[in-house]
């Protein structure tokens, strides 16, 4: 009895020590993260329609550079660890010229109020669209509705503008083949609520060198033009101005050198391109403030990173994938990756919720109970694709702590992909996404600064920094506490899955299938526990391994008990 009590006492002491370390990091980040800085950077970046190589993208990169230099990062000359705080700007030749929208207007000839203007709808010009002649074009518009065979029968489209109640991209090919000079269309997902937010337009590309120009219409513009066309002949005056020019693709990378294992690192990534405020000027602004605060804490001696910390801003997925794959030695040391994408939403306005998108766990295959996919949609995840690791629970539990502290709603969703966390996972590196969804303004030109919350950016920044600081200084106490945490989370999840499977069997579902679900969850958590063995920077004893074995036995026993119960 005394031995059991002693072991329990020691475990409690280790967990308390780890908790104290985490609370110290929470205190530093909650006090030091300046949400006004993050918001100001977001405001600067969201001015621009940002695409690799264009002036807005480059201006955003150089604004981040200013913040880094002021914080104490020095320009890397030879290697990234030549000083405690370094940064570099990588420049790469582009296969195509950079593209930039400048202006556009559509007017119905004979009416005083423009149909649509770039000043209020900056997503109206498809990426890669060419300019009209400087004086614009005036031509008859032909309404082809859904562009079915019946809609097109008997219509002469040569030299005219095609307008349909379908996606513009579907009309571009028709315009090119029929001799039309341009195409106008409309398409928005239901979650954008186009009949409520009637001025919204989602940005999207068109094929370069399509031979015609094209424009996107909002729901309001589409309905107004349709009504005019149904009354009789309509002519439109259209002006489009875009620019293309030779340029380079820029990526900026900042490093905080670890003092013990500098080649092991935690990597953050925030993409610069896309024209929105939340997507993703907030990611750029939040990560820039995270880097500034980190430099300050390092210089003051309040943060002593034993592993390195990397901050990356660039082209979504492309820059992150390249960072991982172009240097295989560096990639071996990347232990964790985190994407900051759409992290500053004022959820009362956007309708979204903060989400942590998990690495592939069984909920990505069997999505039930409180697990819900976003409107982004589920991917094709199979059992062979599962990625067991403590990172899911570790990050989510820290986010929940900040949520409780700041009265901030924190949820999660099963893996879906589509942002900078995917290159990490594709290269067998633990990677998570911090984001918001569903957002009624997602990818639309109503994703502007008034939908951004500085308070939300602070909550995300505090959580993301506390995660990384804890991991890059992790010791055996941190690892032991994580074993206890993951064990507790595992037993709770198994109980939930058992109850769901019991109800499913009662409703007629296959008992064998339901037992398999519980079995897979049990194995996922057993395998996740095993990954904690490498958490500590300097493992010194077998204590963590012993605690993993004890927790593993508990999970395996509980899994088998539930499977047996489902078989009765």
> Is 2 domain-assigned?
no
Cα 237 → chain centroid: 39
Query: What is the rounded CA–CA span in Å between residue 526 and residue 472?
Result: 24
Cβ atoms of 339 and 359 closer than 8 Å: no
- Regarding whether 111 and 236 lie in a shared domain, the answer is yes
> Is 14 domain-assigned?
no
- Regarding whether 392 and 282 lie in a shared domain, the answer is yes
287-332 pLDDT, tens digit each: 999 999 999 999 999 999 999 999 999 999 999 999 999 999 999 9
Query: What is the rounded CA–CA span in Å between residue 482 and residue 461?
Result: 21
Residues 6+ apart with CB under 8 A from 515: 501, 563, 566, 567
| Predicted pLDDT at 301 | 97
- Regarding whether 88 and 112 lie in a shared domain, the answer is no
- Regarding whether 367 and 328 lie in a shared domain, the answer is yes
In a 3-state reduction of DSSP, which class is residue 198? coil
Query: What is the rounded CA–CA span in Å between residue 189 and residue 393?
Result: 32
| Predicted pLDDT at 380 | 87
Q: Which of 183, 215, 245 is the last residue of a domain?
A: 245
Q: Which pair of tokens denotes residue 88?
A: 């570099």
Q: Which of 435, 455, 472 is the last residue of a domain?
A: 472
Return the CATH number at 482.
1.10.132
Instruction: Give bridge partners of residue 280 from the DSSP assignment.
Output: 276
Cα 176 → chain centroid: 36
What is the per-residue burial (b if ≥16 Cβ within 10 Å, else e) of 493-509? bbeebbebbbebbeeee
Cβ atoms of 254 and 310 closer than 8 Å: yes
Cβ atoms of 469 and 256 closer than 8 Å: no
> Can you spell out the DSSP letters for 77-145?
SS-TTSSSEEEEEEEEE-SS-EEEEEEEEEEETT-SS-SEETTT-TT-SPBTPPPPPTT-EEEEEEEEE
Any idea of the CA torsion for 123, 124, 128, 130, to the nearest 10 degrees?
-140
Cβ atoms of 80 and 327 closer than 8 Å: no
The total number of structural domains in the chain stands at 3
> Is 445 domain-assigned?
yes
> Can you spell out the DSSP letters for 260-275?
SEEEEEEEEEEE--SS
- Regarding whether 351 and 404 lie in a shared domain, the answer is yes
| Predicted pLDDT at 18 | 62
Q: Give the up-direction half-sphere exposure of residue 474: CA atoms within 13 A in the CB hemisphere.
A: 27
Give every residue of the chain whose pLDDT is below 70, as ranges.
1-18, 568
pTM exceeds 0.85 for this model: yes
Q: Which pair of tokens denotes residue 214?
A: 């094209």
- Regarding whether 304 and 208 lie in a shared domain, the answer is no
Strands 307-314 and 248-256: antiparallel
- Regarding whether 227 and 105 lie in a shared domain, the answer is yes
- Regarding whether 139 and 287 lie in a shared domain, the answer is no
- Regarding whether 52 and 116 lie in a shared domain, the answer is no
Residues 6+ apart with CB under 8 A from 564: none
Which secondary structure element, helix H or strand E, spans residue 425, and what is its range? helix 422-426
- Regarding whether 501 and 524 lie in a shared domain, the answer is yes
Residue 363 neighbours by CB distance under 10 Å: 24
Query: What is the rounded CA–CA span in Å between residue 563 and residue 514?
Result: 9
What is the per-residue burial (b if ≥16 Cβ within 10 Å, else e) of 470-491? bbbbbbbbbbbbbbbbbbebbb
Q: Which pair of tokens denotes residue 165?
A: 């109640």
| Predicted pLDDT at 286 | 98
Residue 133 neighbours by CB distance under 10 Å: 8
- Regarding whether 466 and 483 lie in a shared domain, the answer is no
| Predicted pLDDT at 376 | 84
| Predicted pLDDT at 200 | 98
Q: Which pair of tokens denotes residue 158?
A: 């040569």
| Predicted pLDDT at 11 | 47
Helix locations, 232-303, DSSP H: 281-299
Q: Which pair of tokens denotes residue 549?
A: 């074995």
Any idea of the CA torsion for 167, 170, 174, 177, to the nearest 10 degrees?
140
> Is 481 domain-assigned?
yes
Query: What is the rounded CA–CA span in Å between residue 536 and residue 548?
Result: 13
- For residue 123, give its domain range: 98-245
Q: Which of 407, 441, 472 is the last residue of a domain?
A: 472
- Regarding whether 372 and 356 lie in a shared domain, the answer is yes
Query: What is the rounded CA–CA span in Å between residue 272 and residue 315?
Result: 6
What is the per-residue burial (b if ≥16 Cβ within 10 Å, else e) of 79-116? ebeebbbbbbbbebeeeeebbbbeebbbbbeeeeeebb
Q: Which pair of tokens denotes residue 284?
A: 């750029």
Query: What is the rounded CA–CA span in Å between residue 334 and residue 221?
Result: 49
Query: What is the rounded CA–CA span in Å between residue 356 and residue 366?
Result: 18
> Is 26 domain-assigned?
no
């Amino acid at each position: 009895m005394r031995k059991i009590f002693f072991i329990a006492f020691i475990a409690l002491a280790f967990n308390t020590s780890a908790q104290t370390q985490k609370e110290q990091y929470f205190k530093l980040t909650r006090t030091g993260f300046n949400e006004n800085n993050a918001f100001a950077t977001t405001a600067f970046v969201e001015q621009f329609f940002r695409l690799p190589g264009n002036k807005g993208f480059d201006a955003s990169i150089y604004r981040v550079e200013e913040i880094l230099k002021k914080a104490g990062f020095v320009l890397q000359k030879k290697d990234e660890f030549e000083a405690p705080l370094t940064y570099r700007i990588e420049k790469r030749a582009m296969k195509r010229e950079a593209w930039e929208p400048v202006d556009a207007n559509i007017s119905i000839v004979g009416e005083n109020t423009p149909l649509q203007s770039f000043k209020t709808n900056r997503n109206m010009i498809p990426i890669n669209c060419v300019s009209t002649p400087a004086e614009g074009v005036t031509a008859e518009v032909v309404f082809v509705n859904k562009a079915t065979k019946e809609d097109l029968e008997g219509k002469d489209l040569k030299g005219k503008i095609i307008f349909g109640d379908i996606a513009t991209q579907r009309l571009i090919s028709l315009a090119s083949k029929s001799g039309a000079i341009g195409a106008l269309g409309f398409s928005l997902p239901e979650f954008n609520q186009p009949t409520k937010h009637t001025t919204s337009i989602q940005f999207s590309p068109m094929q370069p060198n399509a031979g015609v120009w094209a424009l996107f219409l909002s729901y309001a513009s589409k309905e107004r033009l349709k009504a005019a066309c149904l009354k009789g002949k309509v002519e439109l005056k259209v002006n489009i101005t875009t620019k293309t020019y030779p340029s380079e693709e820029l990526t900026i990378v900042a490093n905080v050198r670890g003092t013990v294992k500098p080649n092991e690192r935690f990597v953050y990534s925030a993409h610069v391109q896309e024209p929105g405020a939340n997507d993703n000027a907030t990611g750029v602004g939040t990560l820039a403030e995270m880097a500034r605060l980190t430099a300050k804490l390092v210089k003051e001696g309040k943060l002593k990173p034993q592993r390195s910390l990397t901050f990356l801003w660039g082209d979504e997925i492309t820059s992150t994938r390249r960072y991982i794959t172009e240097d295989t030695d560096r990639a071996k040391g990347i232990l964790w990756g985190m994407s900051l994408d759409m992290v500053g939403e004022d959820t009362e306005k956007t309708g979204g919720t903060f989400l942590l998108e998990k690495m592939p766990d069984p909920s990505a295959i069997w999505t039930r109970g409180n697990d819900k996919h976003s409107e982004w949609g589920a991917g094709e995840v199979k059992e062979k694709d599962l990625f067991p690791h403590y990172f899911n629970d570790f990050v989510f539990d820290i986010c929940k702590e900040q949520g409780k502290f700041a009265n901030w709603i924190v949820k999660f969703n099963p893996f879906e992909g589509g942002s900078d966390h995917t290159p990490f996972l594709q290269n067998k590196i633990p990677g998570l996404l911090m984001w918001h969804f569903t957002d009624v303004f997602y990818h639309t030109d109503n994703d502007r600064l008034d939908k951004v919350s500085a308070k939300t950016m602070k909550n995300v920044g505090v959580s993301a920094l506390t995660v990384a600081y804890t991991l890059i200084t992790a010791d055996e106490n941190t690892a032991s506490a994580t074993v206890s945490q993951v064990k507790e989370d595992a037993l709770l999840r198994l109980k939930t899955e058992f109850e769901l499977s019991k109800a499913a069997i009662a409703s007629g579902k296959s008992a064998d299938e339901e037992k398999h679900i519980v079995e897979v969850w049990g194995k996922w958590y057993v395998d996740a526990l095993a990954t904690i063995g490498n958490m500590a920077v300097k493992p010194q004893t077998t204590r963590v391994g012993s605690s993993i074995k004890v927790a593993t036995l508990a999970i395996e026993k509980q899994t088998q008990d539930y499977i047996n119960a489902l078989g009765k």
